[in-house]
Every structure is written in C-alpha cells, then in structure tokens.
Amino acid sequence: MHRRPATVAIVTTTPRLTLRHFHPEDAEAIFAYLAHPASVRFEPYGMPSRADCDAIAAERANDDRFIAICREDGALVGNVYLAPEGPPAWATWQIGYVLGPEYWGHGYASEAVREVLREAFESLHAHRVIARCNPVNVRSWRLLERVGMRREAHMLQAASFASHPDGTPIWHDSYHYAILDSDPRP
C-alpha cells in the first residue's frame, strides 16, 4: 500500500540545476520570472507587482509544494509545483511549472520536471503524478510528453481563470496527463 508523506521537501541537484526551497530573499528573482505576460499566460493568476513578490516569496518559503529552479550560477529562473492530489491512499501528486521566458528552449524545465518526477516516485512513493495544461500551451504539453507523461483526456471547457465583463466565465479546454510508478521513464 502506498503512503503519501504530508510534505514534499524536495532539495536536489541535476547536472545543470539546483532544486531547492524558496527563501524570503527570492522576491526580486520571483518578480523577474513572473513579471512577463508570457510566463503567466496560462496560470490562474496575473502578473504580480514587485510588492506582491515579497508576499509570494514569504509564502513559498513556508510552502514545500513550491520548488525553486536555480541554474548552476545560482540564478533563480522558475519553479516546479508538486502537491498531493486526492486521498492520501491514492498516492497521487499534481505537478506544474513556470519558467521565465528568457530561459525557455534550454531544457531547464524538462530537466527540473524529470528530477521532480524521479523524487516523487523514489522518495515520496508516488503511485501516480498528474498534470493539466491548456491545449493552446503547446510548449507545456510537449514537455509533459517529453518527460514520459501520457495524455489521458481532453476535457472541454474544463477551466476558467478569467471572466467576461458580465461576470460569466471564459472557459478553456484542458489536457490531462499522467505517469505511473510502473511506467518506463524516457
């Protein structure tokens, strides 16, 4: 039987990255990668102000679900999110990620997600890791497939992060991906 730990607490390195806890001093770096419209286009929040990032850094410093992605030179370039999903007995986790657009196309997100998946299965004893993304976000679903996740569903009008002027939701579709502990890793 799988048992899911209460917290994530992933701190590890890859050949080019350090994945670590956030610190309150990370506010400026968080602002640097979240203050681009492209970074948050598919997120349920908008671009934060510099002052917002002080609060975000303080919150993430106390939230093990957020994992800072740092290059070998120490630069904080994005984050991975890994959180429990469903009842603990399911041993299911949800993964997500955000990277500053200037770091796209260098393989940092794939490298970080692969490492977090490895930790999820080896250290956290995950049975299943899931991810969701907007079908328009081609970079994201291609990354999920590159790291070995399989598309399990195309949900129609499954999410809304914005509203029309009259308050009605602006719906978008959602791809649902997953990988099991028994699946081969690429």
User: pLDDT for 26-58, tens place per residue?
Assistant: 999 999 999 999 999 999 888 999 999 999 999
Handedness of CA 37, 39, 43, 49 (dihedral sign): negative
Exposed (0-12), middle (13-18) or buried (19+): which is 2, by Cβ within 10 Å? middle
CATH number of the domain at 12-180, please? 3.40.630.30
Rounded to two decimals, what is the model's pTM? 0.91
- pLDDT tens per residue across span 117-172: 999 999 999 999 999 999 999 999 999 999 999 999 999 999 999 999 999 999 99
